[in-house]
Amino acid sequence: MRTWVYALLGLLGAVIMYAGDMLFYYTPTPVTSLEEDIFRIMSGVSDWRLHLGALCGPLATVFYIAGFYHIKRALAKTAPLSGTVIFVMLAAAIVFGAVFHAMFAPFGFVSRTDDHAVLLEQLMVTAFSMFYFYAFFMAAGLLYLMVLVLRGRTPFPKWILFFHPLVVWLWTSFFVYLPSPLLVLLEGGRFNIMFALFFAASAVVLYRNRLSS
């Protein structure tokens, strides 16, 4: 399979995980702060949305890992060991990320109970322990990739850094100020949007490289 096809599989993973996010907490009703309102929103979400949203996590992870594998393949000639290290870190990150994602289903169910405050606090301890591992491995792998691109040790042009997930995270920081429903659609799916853009840009670059080689 061509390397750029693996990038497209990663894009599919980002789309599936984004769909899972929206199943958990998309609402057409006004939302002023997603962080403050998210449990209230999920308490009113139907059972099937919570179940299906959780299932999107492991399914998306399979495609995400395929997407991260395209980085290893892309670096096979210029930095093979670095490509392997980056792949392992990003793959580990998305596994923890999938667990964190799936825990939004119990968040939704618990939010409906009378004593949800205590239960939510206990769940959040576990969920955020997953998130911290996710953030550490993801940041480490992405920073490593950024350094390699800047040093010219990848087949990617430097302009692709505009679509690098960490850079996208910076230039999409205004999403938090958007009105509803854009706030939920964009800020609520920000993690997956930044990876979707990167996978798409990478697929274009690698496809063009193949045509010109």
Whether pLDDT at 210 is above 90: no
Is the pLDDT at 197 greater than 70, yes or no?
yes
Average pLDDT estimate for 83-112: 96
Residues 153 and 204: their CA atoms lie apart, in Å, by 18
Over 90: is that where the pLDDT of 63 sits?
Answer: yes
Q: Is the pLDDT of residue 211 over 80?
A: no
Answer positive or negative: Cα dihedral of 137, 138, 143, 149: positive
**What count of Cα atoms within 13 Å lies in the side-chain half-sphere of residue 96?**
18
| 98: CB partners within 8 A, 6+ apart | 57, 58, 60, 61
Q: How far apart are the first and last CA of the chain?
A: 17
Question: Residue 179 gets which letter from DSSP?
Answer: P
Residue 14's alpha-carbon distances to 61, 67, 175, 192, 200, in angstroms, are 9, 9, 18, 5, 10
- Measured distance CA(187)–CA(2) in Å, rounded: 32
Cα angle 187, 189, 195 (rounded to 5 degrees) comes to 115
Specify the pLDDT at position 212: 63
Residue 206 has pLDDT above 60, yes or no: yes
Q: What is the mean pLDDT of residues 94-113?
A: 94
- Number of residues in the chain: 213
Can you say how many angstroms the Cα of residue 80 is from the centroid of all Cα atoms in its chain? 24
Residue 213 has pLDDT above 70, yes or no: no
Read off the pLDDT of residues 134-153 as tens digits, 9 standing for 90 and up.
999 999 999 999 999 999 99
| Position 192 pLDDT exceeds 90 | yes
pTM: 0.94
